[in-house]
Amino acid sequence: MFSISSIVTIILVGLIAFIYFKKISLAYLWKRYKHFAYTFFILILAYFLITEALFYVEHQYVLETGLKSPLLDLSPEEFHKWILILILAGYEKDVFPISAMGEFLAALAIYLGWIALGVSILFEYLSNLKIKKRMEGKQGVKHEGHYVICGWNLRTPDFINNSMKAISEFSNKKCRIVIINDDLSEVLDVNPELRELIEGGQLDYIKGKTRDVFTLEQANIHKAASIVLFADGIEADADERTLLRALAISRFCRNKNNKENGIVAKDSIYIIAEVNDRQFESSLLSSDVNEVICTTEVGNNIITQTMNTKGLSMVLQDLLSYSDDNNEFYTIDLLQHSSLVGYTYDELLPILRKYNIQLIGIKSVFYDETQKPPVEIIDRDEINSRLKSEKNLTRQFIVNPNNENPIEFNYKTDDDDQLIVLCENGKIIKSIP
């Protein structure tokens, strides 16, 4: 006959073995089942509060009436043993409080375990409802400064994992990504990591089409930091769908910001679009898309360059891959690093090398001071206008300038600029004053 302690030990060992062989992370377990831990700690706290209160009211009752309470004859060890037996078995061993309040507390102690069990079941039920809504794409978000992905292809899961790691490391904040997709069920069946991220609340999924206003509202898309439109195929139809998504998102964000700010809204959301054919670039740029990336063209250009410069593809692979062994591209905001203000491109090179940072380019940035706090301007027409009128520049990025263009060569950074650099990790940048 197994004892209770033996049964509990077998269950715990089996549970630990199951977690180990299934490779379930402790972080996921905590995220998923932390309400049980909270209930347990509340139960322990309630137990000690009830025992202290019970002892106190019985003692006060004896002082007021002169009657003798059998509870006060028990030692602390016997008292705790008695109340544990009362809670677990409902048997008081001919010992019971004599005060009305003491009797109420004893009755409360009897049902304490059942109350805790009921609360745990309630929390588990509510948690399952929330997870179900999240997995079905029916759970709206209220994030701000998040990233939204529309469209899907085979590269998207890797993109999500790399982005979450890179953004979290650089900003030291949790990277919130929201996926808008008409049906993600088949994708989740073959991507258990994505399923786990959505279940754990680290990744959000909104079911619907980008042309639906309700879907965009659910994703809080007008408050996103940027939006990525993936080409969901390799045919021309995929690029046409990307264009339609861009138009729908642009119209929604302009209307939303117009209503909120009471002004004629400009381009207020940063959109990056992937296309298969460069012929759609002008149409996308006219639809408030800020950057258009033609992946096939990029791949062909790398092959062409590698033919002339052998080994170039491996260098680019290292630069564009996120890992602990490689250098990555980062942005240094001079609003936060004033020691780098007032220098030309060539003067910044040796300064940054002291931190093992390689300067790539200088980006001119403008802010809308009417917003509180000021917001970076991303409207392409306004940027070009201010570049010409305020800095006498013809392009936003200065990369490897030469003295044949004296304006760029002698340009000195101001506190609104940003530096595009290569370095090992974001912690190095934070050390720059």
Per-residue model confidence as pLDDT tens digits over 70-109: 888 888 888 888 888 887 777 666 788 888 998 888 888 8
Q: What does the pLDDT average to over 309-323? A: 82
**285/343 same-domain check:** no
pLDDT confidence of residue 338 = 94
What's the CATH code of the domain at 351?
A: 3.30.70
Domain extent at residue 180: 139-326
Of 220, 74, 240, 58, which is closest to residue 139 (Cα–Cα)? 220
**198/321 same-domain check:** yes
pLDDT confidence of residue 162 = 85
Q: Indicate the residue among 133, 167, 198 that finishes a domain.
A: 133
pLDDT confidence of residue 38 = 81
Q: Is residue 6 pLDDT above 90, yes or no?
A: no
Q: Is residue 373 pLDDT above 90, yes or no?
A: no
**322/338 same-domain check:** no
Spatial contact of 343 and 351, defined as CB atoms under 8 Å apart? yes
| CA–CA gap between residue 226 and residue 290 (Å, rounded) | 10
| Residue type present at position 106 | A
Show Cβ contacts of residue 166 under 8 Å, excluding neighbours closer than 6 positions.
322, 328
Spatial contact of 417 and 336, defined as CB atoms under 8 Å apart? no
What's this model's pTM, rounded to 2 decimal places? 0.77
Residue 1 confidence class, pLDDT cut points 50, 70, 90? very low
Q: What is the DSSP string of 288-336?
A: T--EEEEHHHHHHHHHHHHHHSTTHHHHHHHHHS--TTS-EEEEEETTT
Q: Indicate the residue among 78, 104, 133 that finishes a domain.
A: 133
What's the CATH code of the domain at 45?
A: 1.10.287
| CA–CA gap between residue 5 and residue 242 (Å, rounded) | 61
Residue 325 confidence class, pLDDT cut points 50, 70, 90? low
Strand bridging mode 271-275 / 291-294: parallel
**319/339 same-domain check:** no
Q: Indicate the residue among 273, 304, 326 that finishes a domain.
A: 326
**144/238 same-domain check:** yes
Between 126 and 6, the more confident residue is: 126
DSSP state of 397: E
Show Cβ contacts of residue 294 under 8 Å, excluding neighbours closer than 6 positions.
274, 275, 276, 277, 278, 281
Question: Phi and psi for 293 in degrees, rounded to 5?
Answer: -120, 120
Spatial contact of 413 and 362, defined as CB atoms under 8 Å apart? yes
pLDDT digits (tens, 9 = 90+) for 375-420: 888 988 899 999 999 999 999 999 999 989 999 999 999 999 999 9
The mean of the pLDDT values for the chain is 86
**320/394 same-domain check:** no
Spatial contact of 339 and 352, defined as CB atoms under 8 Å apart? no
**218/302 same-domain check:** yes
**107/147 same-domain check:** no
Q: What does the pLDDT average to over 347-367? A: 95
Name the least confident of 45-49, 61-65, 301-305, 321-325: 321-325
Which helix (DSSP H) or strand (DSSP E) does residue 399 occupy? strand 397-399
- The domain tally of the chain equals 3
Between 368 and 16, the more confident residue is: 368
**197/243 same-domain check:** yes
pLDDT confidence of residue 234 = 84
Spatial contact of 50 and 112, defined as CB atoms under 8 Å apart? yes
**302/348 same-domain check:** no
**298/229 same-domain check:** yes
**164/288 same-domain check:** yes
Show Cβ contacts of residue 386 under 8 Å, excluding neighbours closer than 6 positions.
366, 377
Helices (H), 90-212: 100-110, 112-135, 156-171, 185-190, 192-199
Residue 264 confidence class, pLDDT cut points 50, 70, 90? low
Spatial contact of 203 and 197, defined as CB atoms under 8 Å apart? yes
